[in-house]
Amino acid sequence: MLSVYARIFRIHSFDTEESDATFTHWTMGPSNEHELAIARIVDQLSMEGKLFPTAVPRIVAALDFMMSRADSEFLVRYLQWRMANPIPKPPQ
């Protein structure tokens, strides 16, 4: 299940600066079951139009595990990424 979800949400971004020939490639997707659970909750809030930086306590409360430092870092990165790349709300 993780690999399917990771493929769906794997995003490729390329940052280039014309004055500087730097090239950056990054992906945003869950790499383990904890990250998958975090991404699902964040995505659900995004689809409901309820995703704000203040949603972190709500997201943490919805998890059924204690977050590690890596989980917390993923939550912050994924929340920021999802806010910049929202999922459109489904039509009513």
pTM (2 d.p.): 0.68
* Whole-angstrom distance, CA of residue 87 vs CA of residue 8: 13
Query: Is 47 a residue whose pLDDT tops 80?
Result: yes
Confidence grade of residue 91 (pLDDT, cut at 50, 70, 90): confident
Angle between helices 69-84 and 33-47 (to 10 degrees): 30
